[in-house]
């Protein structure tokens, strides 16, 4: 193999390696992101003994933008816990009267918080629907939490964050009371709970570039064999 050919192979190899790295960087398809702290040094949290949560609109419009690959939310758990703390995460559509949460799209079941105190992030990967398929949701959904196993001297709650960087939400929140779902507000604080939703990744043009690079390598190898 002459020097020019060796240099060409090296250049293609670098291109493939760089492209592969690009694919891994671009793998996430974030359709909602409210993980930026409010512009104050104080991290605020909110909790209720009822089920409560935020109505959000996911960004994007393609089918894969509505197929959930990961859901994570931020919470605070005080110190000196009893070890029985659990949380249930639920996703609803908003087809009820006046846009209320209605059909339950997904239920995590009780998740142990495992003494994870302080400011934490709970991550749920690849939720599925009732028949085991990847979970597909509408543009607007409400995600809620309900905490259990909380003693009187403990404090647990969702973190309040700034306006979403990706996607949308309202400045109030939903709470499930004995009288049904109600919208509520906090005095002087727009309500956005810290969360991020990652959808199934879109096919990457860089992946196509990688395939093209390998195709060029194969074509060159075939040409060299034919010339012998």
Tell me what the pLDDT averaged over the chain comes to: 82
Give residue 41's pLDDT.
Answer: 56
pLDDT digits (tens, 9 = 90+) for 131-144: 999 999 999 999 99
Residue 188 gets the label, from left (phi > 0), alpha (psi -120 to 50) or beta, of: left
pLDDT digits (tens, 9 = 90+) for 111-157: 999 878 899 999 999 999 999 999 999 999 999 999 999 887 888 99
Strands (E), 102-172: 104-112, 118-125, 140-148, 156-159, 168-169
Name the helix (H) or strand (E) containing 223.
helix 205-227
Model's pTM, two decimal places?
Answer: 0.77
User: Considering just the CA atoms, what is the radius of gyration of the chain in Å?
Assistant: 24
- For residues 38 and 211, the model is more confident at 38
**Is pLDDT of 221 > 60?**
no
Domain ranges for the chain = 28-205
SS3 percent helix, strand, coil of the chain, rounded to 5, is 25, 40, 35
pLDDT digits (tens, 9 = 90+) for 44-62: 889 999 999 999 999 999 9
The number of residues making up the chain comes to 228
pLDDT digits (tens, 9 = 90+) for 68-87: 999 999 999 998 888 899 99
Confirm if 156 and 47 have CB atoms less than 8 A apart: yes
Least confident of 8-12, 172-176, 222-226: 8-12
Classified as helix, coil or strand, 27 is: coil
- Residues 6 or more apart whose Cβ sits within 8 Å of residue 114: none
Classified as helix, coil or strand, 141 is: strand
């Amino acid at each position: 193999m002459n020097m020019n050919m060796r240099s060409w192979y090296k250049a293609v190899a670098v291109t493939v390696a760089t492209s592969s790295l690009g694919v891994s960087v671009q793998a996430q398809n974030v359709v909602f992101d409210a993980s930026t702290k409010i512009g104050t040094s104080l991290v605020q949290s909110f909790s209720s003994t009822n089920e409560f949560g935020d109505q959000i609109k996911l960004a994007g419009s393609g089918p894969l933008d509505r197929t959930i690959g990961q859901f994570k939310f931020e919470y605070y758990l005080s110190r000196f816990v009893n070890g029985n703390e659990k949380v249930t995460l639920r996703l609803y559509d908003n087809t009820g009267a006046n846009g209320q949460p209605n059909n339950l799209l997904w239920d995590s079941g009780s998740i142990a918080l495992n003494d994870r105190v302080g400011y934490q992030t709970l991550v749920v990967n690849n939720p599925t629907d009732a028949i085991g398929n990847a979970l597909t949701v509408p543009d607007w959904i409400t995600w809620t939490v309900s905490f259990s196993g909380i003693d009187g001297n403990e404090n647990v709650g969702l973190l309040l964050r700034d306006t979403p960087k990706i996607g949308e939400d309202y400045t109030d929140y939903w709470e499930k009371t004995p009288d049904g779902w109600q919208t509520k507000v906090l005095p002087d604080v727009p309500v956005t709970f810290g969360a991020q939703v990652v959808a199934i990744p879109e096919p990457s043009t860089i992946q196509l570039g990688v395939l093209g690079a390998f195709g060029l390598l194969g074509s060159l190898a075939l040409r060299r064999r034919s010339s012998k």
